[in-house]
Structure 1
């Protein structure tokens, strides 16, 4: 980077500057671990060891480090031979620390009877790479006796930057240098791209059919290249420090220019292209074998480069295997294009891979520099592989237009929170290379071709703030009034609901909103769930419309770990299709996203203890928990059906005439299908209804004493508890305040007063008149009226 811009600050200061300007330096470390005493040396002689087949005795010239003449060193590397230059660890040198963290010190040694005065090193022994196939061979012009750290720039520092998606212009060394120049005021070396003189007339026909895919396409033919040439060591080294291994000279050159200037490009084998190239959208059913070996099926939403016979490249992402360069390649076609970011964004993720090219193009790559970068690539190709270049072919069917963006200086000062002047704003834009015009209090910027992140006024305000420096921001307290958001008394918080369930002996669990499609079909009865376009795992393929599947899965997880008792609950959002839902800041069109609360109980009803006999949790245990959760509001439990629950042991929870959820035992076929030893009891309720509560109202203490009367009523088995109680309380006089069932009796065999299909229900009536004491006559009349009502409505009678 310092070759483009070299500010007079230290490496640490540079890292801090970049971080504070929004280019976070996530990691920094030296290019090589610490070691000392390693110098450039030349092997003068290499003879076979007299006592070992795999060892050689070498005479090595270490320059000033061996004033007494060449050093004798025993070496086992297969490439140890006379005439090469290699790293030499002299006596007293320290190699990089090993696994124990301690450096390895070199001393005088003897191998199979022959003395050795040092060690010749491989790249792996210096921890420069994992290559351990032999000695690290240095260029022939490497000066003997020079410290290897100085010669290879091993004291250089590598920065790992964590860039936000808007900083596409910083995805190159030159782009970062441009930022450093703006931040420090140090001069930026403007690169020169001298045009390569064409020596052949060959031009590959190219047709751009999809201008919404490709806005500019540039290319050039180069003939007679030598692909077997070696990539220069300096290029291999720089690529390695960018995390890119060397592949072949042509591929290395393309990658190098991408890291250097942020321009992804592609090099085709010209002789494998049929007739010409066409830039278009793919056709459904077409396939392409990529450079990574994968064969993908394409559709009309993916851009491609095709020849007369087949698709040859995935536009802006990866080239195809059919036209890839190889050792047999002699003629090439260099391509550099501008692909519209929206046409590339997300395409590689559809095929479960990502590339450096796609990462850059979907964020935006300069459309004005395609020709210049091809000139740079051509010059490197000719200097390394030779070849004759053809004329440049440049097509510009749809260049991007950059509308101007205005900055109001007063608005910038208000948003940033400190005073800024128009001159300071103008200075920032000048340093950043943003062309602008000025008027009173307003600067209008025309975004340059490499800045895709400047579209609104706030983008310019951000540039002003970060270039001036966040350190300039004054420490001022906020001036906005703090207003408490008080929850209405008729609504309790979600946290209160969690506390209530925890008090009922349930433990909270949190699960993914993505679930298996099977859960939705079987447990929610949802045949058309909302599918996830890019699931994080194959089973997590759909959005849940019920919490029950997640709780059953939690039960299975606990049972697999021998849990004797499981009681869990979850508060979570579910997702259902609803065409009436519109897009807002809190909703997505067509998707209804209510909050639910659900619980599951399995195993003993209570922890093992001496005071209560052990029994399994049943429907009524969980029903009591639901009643306690809703208290003081009283819900009705109406027999119902639910896809996940036992048809005869399922009830709808009705509150104020509205069904708010269901409760019941898991359906037998799902208990068997999910390999559960016994069926759990589950409930699922609308969270909004659970959060609603009755505001307490003060009532005077009754001045009169209540009267209790017990009735034993014989009714048919089909008569429900709710129907009986409702009939008893339907008293026009208002004396019957409450009716409570306290006993059920069903004889083993029919008796004189209880026939088959009947049962006796013992009910306690509470009678009260606030105005006057109850006389025996009024009590008897009220009881008789109650018996008459249940007799007429439910065919009930007093037990003899």
Structure 2
């Protein structure tokens, strides 16, 4: 919320500087987000009037003006503005004036100079040159009553300051200048200049029949008819200035009046063109299929969940949000109907977002607007209409006030002992009573208990903690003591067999991956296609229409990051994310760390796409493949020895996907993206992905002491022919099962050979299409140097075991 300091001080003017006032508001929970001067610094600019304006003798686009600035002699000033004419009053920069800095950051000094041979003794200014507006269409024209020679800063009150407050949703009563002033009075003790609303004399008997068909939508509806007004009247400058300094541009007099009262008192209202209303008004819920053209030009389709104001022919307004175009006031309007209502906050909340826009009125009504001030605020609006748009023929009707369902606030009790415990400082009952009374909260006292009846404008006071918060705000958050914790605090010691998530992140970063952080709510499509999830966890109020479900896999988020990078011509992408996923699980019970029926495990997922290594001259570029990422997973899990088994996954290639096991436990998957998803997501290159359970990745074996071999190891290579169904893990398991008497220290596969298929009808040896696998065996003994007999015996034992377990035969 934005407003000017001078407007605030017109209601409450404490003896505080601007900075002190801002600090006081912030320490009371009304955070002052920004303080900005209304205008940048400039000097020696006064009100002037053009007395003469003649064509420049040497320039078609220049005029030589005689300007009266209240001095003995007129100033001779050359000006090129198209609106420079006799009789207007404008800002005039005298010789020696300093204008606001330009684009170079340096102030602009006014000197006596010559333009095309004619002396110029100053400069006539536009609003843009004074940095008061962006309009550069000509000179800034001032009212004819502006006093000649007066400093323009004093005349336009340019030494004012703009306050921008960042209000939390519970501070709806501060969404007006008067509401903030009420808080300032409570905080500082300065007197509050509360506005009065004298009833106007009724001079016509006209009214509009109103029916409230939905009391659960509208609790109070007030309105009156005003006839024979001049809608072409000009909004006074003081109102235009206050609106502009609240971030609202001037539109027409009637619209400005309605907006002004909203910013002043927090009351959104609406002014109908009376002659465009067909019959009576009906306040009701919308009907499916109804359409309404709004004041912003949009046409929206309504349903039963949106409140409307309709007449006998059509819908005229979106209740509590925006008026309709059909009954909008215009320059031809002569008679108006002024409406002020109380809309139940729950019936307004979220409605405007359904139509992809928001309004100041909806912002206030969905938080709560005082239901007991509708009549008084109509009186205020009417008085402004009479003052600005009134004519000798203007007549005012009686206020029709219907109150079918006004909220009845429930009293709330504050236990002084409880307040002291929650706040963390000693408090007396007198201190609590003083704080609440300063806020204008009606109360009664008993020993140790204060009972408060919340006023009609305080929708946020519902439970005891709300009153405790009010006491804290009056005390001031900066005055709360710094009390150290009384309970002992001991850090949780992580066991040696577990590493933390940061260590996992560092390990992946060392492997060349970059971390990404993504939203936990994702597109429904990702869940169905990439996770195979049909039991979706939907969001009731998503921040965007396409982010409406909670993710059960991290893969969709990584693919979106890949697509973003490839759209920007990134040729090599290696990314990972450590994050939480969300699964339905009826076995989960409520606890301090869990939510009933929902499992929320942490996972780590990665994606590699493009070159296996960064481009360099010493080797040929090669794209990343399944085995590169499989190696990264093995490095991440080390010293655990994972096992990879052929598997299927909704997001992965059916023939290039493996399930990762540690022992007998499955901890995730690794594989190439399925071809149809690559095509569907329009990816330039095929990525390799993995997703693992973070808890399993964080587990590690404790290091064990082993002596360093003192004797020379021996290596032997063997080549065996095996069937195509034999896996790497099955091969190594058979080798390690061989009875080598402890001599086998290591076994590594280093070559795979598969003969080409037969061509031209040439016969090949039976089994030649099986794979030939070459394994390097490392043998050693701690007791003595190995003999050739021992080595040969160990190798033959391995070959025999391979024949027995995987039907392998040694290749000669």
Asked if these proteins are the same fold (TM beyond 0.5), I'd say yes
State the SS of the aligned residue for 1:159. Answer: strand
Structure 1: distance between partners of 2:206 and 2:199? 17
Shift of 1:475: 4.1
Structure 2: distance between partners of 1:146 and 1:614? 76
One of 366, 375, 381 as aligned partner of 1:377: 381
CA contact (8 A) 1:729 1:736 kept: no
Larger mean Cα displacement after TM superposition, 605-614 or 690-699: 605-614
In the other structure, the counterpart of 1:755 is 767
In the other structure, the counterpart of 1:298 is 302
In the other structure, the counterpart of 1:173 is 177
Task: Tell whether 2:33 aligns with 1:33.
Answer: no
State the SS of the aligned residue for 1:571. Answer: strand
Q: Residues 768 and 356 of structure 1: is their aligned pair in 2 closer, same or farther, counting only changes over 3 Å? A: same
Shift of 1:340: 1.7
State the SS of the aligned residue for 1:651. Answer: strand
CA contact (8 A) 1:598 1:684 kept: yes
One of 72, 81, 95 as aligned partner of 1:67: 72
CA contact (8 A) 1:725 1:739 kept: no
State the SS of the aligned residue for 2:153. Answer: helix
Shift of 1:192: 0.8
Structure 2: distance between partners of 1:722 and 1:40? 92
Structure 2: distance between partners of 1:709 and 1:139? 103
Task: Tell whether 2:442 aligns with 1:442.
Answer: no
Larger mean Cα displacement after TM superposition, 709-718 or 330-339: 709-718
In the other structure, the counterpart of 2:329 is 325
Shift of 1:235: 1.1
CA contact (8 A) 1:406 1:457 kept: yes
Shift of 1:366: 1.2
After superposition, where does 1:125-524 map in structure 2 within 5 Å? 125-386=129-390, 387-513=394-520, 519-524=526-531
State the SS of the aligned residue for 2:387. Answer: helix
1:301-330 deviations in Å (ceiling 9; x for gaps): 222222222222111111111111111111
Q: Residues 687 and 561 of structure 1: is their aligned pair in 2 closer, same or farther, counting only changes over 3 Å? A: same
CA contact (8 A) 2:746 2:779 kept: no
State the SS of the aligned residue for 2:10. Answer: coil
State the SS of the aligned residue for 2:271. Answer: strand
RMSD of aligned alpha carbons = 4.2
Q: Residues 108 and 525 of structure 1: is their aligned pair in 2 closer, same or farther, counting only changes over 3 Å? A: same
Structure 1: distance between partners of 2:237 and 2:769? 96
Q: How many residues matched?
A: 794
After superposition, where does 1:581-620 map in structure 2 within 5 Å? 592-606=599-613, 615-620=622-627
1:709-758 deviations in Å (ceiling 9; x for gaps): 99876543223344455567679999999994646665668999963444
CA contact (8 A) 2:748 2:777 kept: no
Q: Residues 657 and 34 of structure 1: is their aligned pair in 2 closer, same or farther, counting only changes over 3 Å? A: same
Q: Residues 96 and 649 of structure 1: is their aligned pair in 2 closer, same or farther, counting only changes over 3 Å? A: closer
CA contact (8 A) 1:736 1:765 kept: no
Shift of 1:512: 4.2
Q: Residues 251 and 579 of structure 1: is their aligned pair in 2 closer, same or farther, counting only changes over 3 Å? A: farther
State the SS of the aligned residue for 1:3. Answer: helix
Shift of 1:585: 6.4
CA contact (8 A) 2:755 2:769 kept: no
Shift of 1:796: 5.1
Shift of 1:34: 2.6
Larger mean Cα displacement after TM superposition, 742-751 or 131-140: 742-751
Structure 2: distance between partners of 1:637 and 1:613? 29
Q: Residues 280 and 327 of structure 1: is their aligned pair in 2 closer, same or farther, counting only changes over 3 Å? A: same
Structure 1: distance between partners of 2:121 and 2:735? 109
State the SS of the aligned residue for 1:662. Answer: strand
Structure 2: distance between partners of 1:791 and 1:74? 107
In the other structure, the counterpart of 1:547 is 554
State the SS of the aligned residue for 2:9. Answer: coil
Task: Tell whether 2:651 aligns with 1:644.
Answer: yes
State the SS of the aligned residue for 1:2. Answer: helix
Shift of 1:290: 1.1
Q: Residues 350 and 576 of structure 1: is their aligned pair in 2 closer, same or farther, counting only changes over 3 Å? A: farther
Q: Residues 752 and 219 of structure 1: is their aligned pair in 2 closer, same or farther, counting only changes over 3 Å? A: closer
One of 686, 690, 693 as aligned partner of 1:686: 693
Structure 2: distance between partners of 1:106 and 1:710? 93
Q: Residues 670 and 282 of structure 1: is their aligned pair in 2 closer, same or farther, counting only changes over 3 Å? A: same
Give the alignment's TM-score, normalised by structure 1: 0.86
Larger mean Cα displacement after TM superposition, 183-192 or 645-654: 645-654
CA contact (8 A) 1:739 1:763 kept: no
Give the alignment's TM-score, normalised by structure 2: 0.85
Structure 1: distance between partners of 2:282 and 2:445? 44
Structure 1: distance between partners of 2:617 and 2:348? 69
Q: Residues 586 and 324 of structure 1: is their aligned pair in 2 closer, same or farther, counting only changes over 3 Å? A: farther
In the other structure, the counterpart of 1:660 is 667
Shift of 1:66: 1.8
Q: Residues 735 and 325 of structure 1: is their aligned pair in 2 closer, same or farther, counting only changes over 3 Å? A: same
1:531-570 deviations in Å (ceiling 9; x for gaps): 6777777876765443334444544555566656543322
Structure 2: distance between partners of 1:495 and 1:409? 45
1:361-417 deviations in Å (ceiling 9; x for gaps): 122211111110000001111111123111111111221222222222222223323
State the SS of the aligned residue for 1:638. Answer: strand
Larger mean Cα displacement after TM superposition, 735-744 or 626-635: 735-744
Structure 1: distance between partners of 2:637 and 2:593? 28
Q: Residues 613 and 46 of structure 1: is their aligned pair in 2 closer, same or farther, counting only changes over 3 Å? A: closer
State the SS of the aligned residue for 1:483. Answer: coil
Shift of 1:284: 2.3
CA contact (8 A) 1:206 1:276 kept: yes
CA contact (8 A) 2:745 2:780 kept: no
State the SS of the aligned residue for 1:397. Answer: coil
Structure 1: distance between partners of 2:509 and 2:90? 70
CA contact (8 A) 2:740 2:798 kept: no
Q: Residues 514 and 463 of structure 1: is their aligned pair in 2 closer, same or farther, counting only changes over 3 Å? A: closer
Shift of 1:435: 0.9
CA contact (8 A) 2:530 2:651 kept: yes
State the SS of the aligned residue for 1:628. Answer: helix
Structure 1: distance between partners of 2:46 and 2:805? 107
1:173-192 deviations in Å (ceiling 9; x for gaps): 11111111111111111211
Structure 2: distance between partners of 1:769 and 1:60? 109
Structure 2: distance between partners of 1:498 and 1:646? 27
Structure 1: distance between partners of 2:524 and 2:490? 45
Shift of 1:571: 1.7
Structure 2: distance between partners of 1:219 and 1:582? 54
Structure 2: distance between partners of 1:398 and 1:602? 63
1:236-263 deviations in Å (ceiling 9; x for gaps): 1211111211111100000111111111
Larger mean Cα displacement after TM superposition, 395-404 or 778-787: 778-787
Structure 1: distance between partners of 2:746 and 2:95? 101
Structure 1: distance between partners of 2:79 and 2:695? 78
State the SS of the aligned residue for 1:301. Answer: coil
State the SS of the aligned residue for 2:438. Answer: helix
Q: Residues 735 and 74 of structure 1: is their aligned pair in 2 closer, same or farther, counting only changes over 3 Å? A: closer
